[in-house]
Amino acid sequence: TSSYICVLSGSHLISALAVRFPHWRILTVDNLQYCSSLKNLRSVEASSKYTFIPGDVCDPFLIKRLFATEKIDIVFHCAAETHVENSFLCPSRFMRVNADGTGVLIRAAFEARVRRFIYISTDEVYGDSLEQPFDELSPKRPTNPYSASKAAAENIVMSYWMKHKFPVLITRSSNVYGPHQHHEKVIPRFLSLIQRDQKCTIQGSGLQSRHFLYVSDVTDAFLTLMEKGILGEIYNIGSSFEIPIIQLARELVKMKVKDVSEEALVDWMEFVEDRPVTELRYPMISDKLHKLGWRPKVTWKEGIRRTIQWYEENPNYWPSISENGEESPASCDQTPSHAMPYHVR
């Protein structure tokens, strides 16, 4: 029987694994911060093959004991602090969780002779590009503490491949969206604001654009790489769908507000202070992954329809932004996040 450890932010992946491989054991480690919820795992919580372990990836005693007592074959390392604005306020926390935590986890996995270690990274390690898309050989040029900590974690992971030929894989994906996502992310944030007849808060000019991938396409990519990925390689998980943030806000308002006119759309937007460093685009080439047979299957039209429907059917899934200003801590001292309009990688 194979075992998995899915660490943080992996609820859709866990559900997909449980469906695809019903005889495999799934272990999840999560410290249940503000953007985590055990409700995301209702589909598997009753399964005898699934175990949830509350804990911190940075805790070497917990992680070492876990690998010593469980026969873990494959690791999906999704644990991360991901909010870019917060990373400027508390870079040490991001380096601790994203880099130091990765060091703790991969050392324990290496000592336990795990068969495959899949590290979930980000397109942000490339920095931005207005024209030339990034492939996996493009240099890393992180521009904020979050992406710098993810780049450092990649280096730690790759060092185990270079020195020990420990079986690692690294993924770098575009922005992910879909059901269950916490409303610190841009799509659920905008939907939540529109639902309460409030304006979408848009950072800077709103002309920065992002590529979006529906969550099931990303989990399919992870499973493809688990089965077919070449060890020691990095794989982009990119999307051809790109949209400026201001256009995203316009589209969501038109989908949610009945008979809104083009002229009235501007009344649904509020432009706020930009983040310290803004990347306009993260274009990527995913040819390596395409050669393994993966392609995105869910169109933007269908994915956003499913997403909107889920949030309409689950309006109180996450604490209300207005009722609880501290559900998304913005700094090391847990300052409320009212000043943080949203996070889009």
* Rounded Cα distance, 334 and 182, in Å: 17
**Residue 146 annotated to the active site:** yes
Asked if 274 contacts 204 with a C-beta cutoff of 8 angstroms, the reply is yes
Give the DSSP letter of residue 203. E
State the catalytic residue, choosing from 50, 119, 126, 146. 146
123 classed as catalytic: yes
Residue at 44: amino acid letter: V
Cβ proximity of 29 and 5 under 8 Å: yes
Q: Choose, from 56, 100, 123, 217, the residue flagged as catalytic.
A: 123
Three-class SS of the chain: CCEEEEECCCHHHHHHHHHHCCCCEEEEEECCCCCCCHHHHCCCCCCCCEEEEECCCCCHHHHHHHHHHCCCCEEEECCCCCCHHHHHHCHHHHHHHHHHHHHHHHHHHHHCCCCEEEEEEEHHHHCCCCCCCECCCCCCCCCCHHHHHHHHHHHHHHHHHHHHCCCEEEEEECEEECCCCCCCEHHHHHHHHHHCCCCEEEECCCCCEEEEEEHHHHHHHHHHHHHHCCCCCEEEECCCCEEEHHHHHHHHHHHHCCCCCCHHHHHHEEEECCCCCCCCCCCECCHHHHCCCCCCCCCHHHHHHHHHHHHHHCCCCCCCCCCCCCCCCCCCCCCCCCCCCCECC
- Name the 3-class secondary structure at 160: helix
How far is residue 55 from each of residues 26, 27, 175, measured CA to CA in Å? 16, 12, 26
323 carries an active-site annotation: no
User: Catalytic residue among 56, 124, 184, 279, which?
Assistant: 124
Which residue, chain included where needed, has tokens 């992946």? 13
What are the residue numbers of the active site?
123-124, 146
